[in-house]
Structure 1
């Protein structure tokens, strides 16, 4: 493969929808606001489709709940607007009750839909202008719908006791969530183009540390989910008490659905508890080293929360985050150039893992009415996560460097690599053919080759009046080039070239 093809493969890095933008002629570069009709249609779908899908699901859910509970449908627009804001983690005030602790399942689904739609619209070898248009399209639809919902809740404030936390918080949450969705969608398809926007060069140890951080966070959340399931079955006797406020089947189904929506919040709280930080429920708290009594919501999702007093063996659960950090350090020790004097990839992994879990803890926390603030102790979470992941990662890195054989860095390929591999092969063939044509043109433009080189269709040479097609191994024929001073070797047989069989001078190609 030529150097040009290698450069194309390195710089493109995109696995988009197959949309190819024809290059502009020299001197006619398109301005940033010019869009082809096909590209404009794609951006319109990116802006509208996730928003319309989410709005349709919201309207359907609100209508089902209101019809099953016998609520008057006159408040349906306000309920739809409030549900849209709540799905984007915008705090709401119903009467005198502030709801800041909102379920994460709707938020995760909406961000995933937007990221998926954005990933499908990434073109091959995108330019910064195209990435900017795409990110703007991802943000445009949700921001417009948020503005409509804020207006609806403001108009309905005189009829229903419903208020939002203000436009600044609403637009801020929506902007941050969908900016993350755009980054995830573009990064999944065009990671090279996204990194090219960074003004400084990203070192290799930072890339390896970021990949290890993603695996570390997933392992930590997986261990927290497993601990939640085990604790749920260990405290299954509380199930009857969790449904004591349910009066009919509709209430049971509603509480069960609400518990499923809050399940990611519970898993994030379990990850905080496993690290050693406490989960606060207003004045109460739950941790590995003690449980303080307080008022807790009555939901089936909170069945796994342990009750006091704390047992001595609970401290052994601190080995889980330590083991996760050690495993990440072992991977980095085998794939990176880390050494005890410069553990940059290990420190990057610990910092990014802690930052990710901190952001998840902020999303999974909030004000919950009269109970107060519910969520993980954020300061203790940061200190403990950095300690476990940093120390454990350093130990694992040293162990791997001393006792394990190094391996090549593991590349993270997404699910679209195989699908668009043929596109890259076609692209390489195109550039190979283009290179061959350039080389052929260069050969044709060389006057020396046209003057001295003569090609014959029939390479037969007549020796001593006889036409010889095949020469034996012991026979050599040497024809000196015009102007050559080299004398033929002594062991070469006498050969006579019949000039009459050669083409005339006027018929010689290139003359």
Structure 2
């Protein structure tokens, strides 16, 4: 687990060291700067604040941190995709958080030591560690996957509904990010003429400098997407004293970067139409899931938390501009509000449809067959009725020793030695046991001349009460067979 968590961070540090070393050799700068550059770059990769020449920067490009988090998530996914225990997860969590925290403390100490010689200073350690922990904790949660989260919820008795609703919230935020990226691209190309004006502010910049400006702008693309998402839900993006929203725009001189040329100087009247972006994202994330009101509540909370974390990581101080980035509370609150409103409407719609279906099923009477079909089926039904014998209705059994149509097996007895000689199917032991338990039945059968009754008596089969009544009514007809009955009685 330690190797799993350490490899991404070690690889990033080695890449930083290699790039810094190459840059110093190409520029002919002192090698003593190498340690300071590595420490500052590590802070940038983890979105931790940096300070140099009394300028504090915490509004940092999020693309390097996104790449690091993606690598960590993939490593975590490979470690837990097979069978894993809770103890393994705890150890992996400690490693995922512990390794970058140790590296951040080392980098902070390096900057603190370099501050004695160079014009740099270590950032606020608590703020730096908080950002590092939040970033890597999010990577850990993403790498675990929904399947493992469901297993953990089942183990600790947490309703699976929470995991499923959180997935709905993540899907909603994903669609919102796609819509925000499209909106930013359209606005950027509509203001493409301003890119030339931005580059004219660097009259002596070389080709390598232009490439550097373009590279920095590309690194800020995730920041632009998150900020645009905050704007389209109804919040605002602020940069120092300036601010931009769908309803108004008040700008100050922006940093001379090509990406800032995409920020409009004023809010057009049609910008309110962009509120359809969060509406469509919420509908598309919900309509296939048939959510309940409980699902909507959990998804609302989850979307607010995730949006707040994303806005927190892409906002901060931008040098002399001051606080820059989307407004945390309004962005998270409005994002959750869209989910709550749309989700409640969708859940109410599905609940109404289910109620109508249940009501219709209760009041609907099955259709009766046509009269012609009924007449055609009548002869067939009558024929079946004639052919099928009708069983007489059975009377309740009052004798506890008689079980209707059930063989009663008792212990064998030697009191019936003559039963085997008659060639009957019943065994002597069964006949003797039946004679001892049911003497009244034996007396009844002495007056009967039907061999079938005698055979049933020997087998120990008790006849139903209805059959016994028939036997009693037929005693007068059985007088002619008294000889056979007497012989059967003597045998008994």
Question: Structure 1 residues 357 and 480 mapped into 2: Cα distance closer, same or farther (>3 Å)?
Answer: farther
2:36 to 78, 89, 92: 78
Are 1:366 and 2:319 matched, yes or no? no
Of residues 238, 242, 256 in structure 1, which corresponds to 2:194?
238
Query: Structure 1 residues 349 and 247, CA, compared in 2 at 3 Å: closer, same or farther?
Result: same
Encode CA deviations 1:428-456: one digit per residue, 9 max, x unaligned: xxxxxxxxxxxxxxxxxxxxxxxxxxxxx
More helix by share: 2
- Find the partner of 1:217 among 173, 188, 198: 173
Cα deviation for residue 303 of structure 1 reads: 2.2
Q: How far 1:484 moved relative to its partner?
A: 8.2
Matched, 1:383 2:333: yes
Report the CA distance shift for 1:394/1:153 in structure 2 as closer, same or farther (over 3 A).
Answer: same
Please name the residue that 2:275 is paired with: 318
SS of alignment partner, residue 121 of structure 2? strand
Q: Where does the alignment leave 5 or more consecutive residues of structure 1 unmatched?
A: 1-42, 407-478, 490-511
**Cα shift at 1:323:** 2.3
1:164 matched to which residue of 2? 122
Gaps of at least 5 residues in structure 2 are 357-424, 434-451, 453-492
Total equivalences in the alignment: 367
Per-residue CA distance 1:167-189 (angstroms, 9 max, x = gap): 32233322232233223323456
C-alpha displacement at 1:346, in angstroms? Answer: 1.3
Residue 255 (structure 2) aligns with: 297
SS at 1:358 equivalent: helix
SS across alignment from 2:60: coil
Match of 1:206 among 140, 155, 162: 162
How far did 1:389 drift?
Answer: 1.8
Q: Secondary structure at the residue paired with 1:386?
A: helix
Give the equivalent residue in structure 2 for 1:175.
Answer: 133
Distance 1:278 1:400 in 2: 34
Distance apart, 1:320 and its partner CA? 1.6
Partner Cα distance (1:44, 1:316) in 2: 50
- The offset of 1:164, in angstroms, is 2.4
1:346 to 278, 296, 311: 296
Structure-1 residue corresponding to 2:373: none
Indicate conservation of the 8 Å contact 2:108/2:123, yes or no: no
Distance 1:364 1:51 in 2: 21
Q: Does 1:276 align with 2:226?
A: no
Pairwise CA RMSD: 3.0
Contact map agreement 1:156 1:162 (CA 8 A) in 2: yes
Aligned equivalents of 2:50, 2:31: Cα separation in 1:
20
- Distance in 2, Cα, partners of 1:109 & 1:369: 25
Contact 1:279–1:287 (CA<8 Å) still a contact in 2? yes
- Aligned partners of 1:358 and 1:382 also within 8 Å: yes
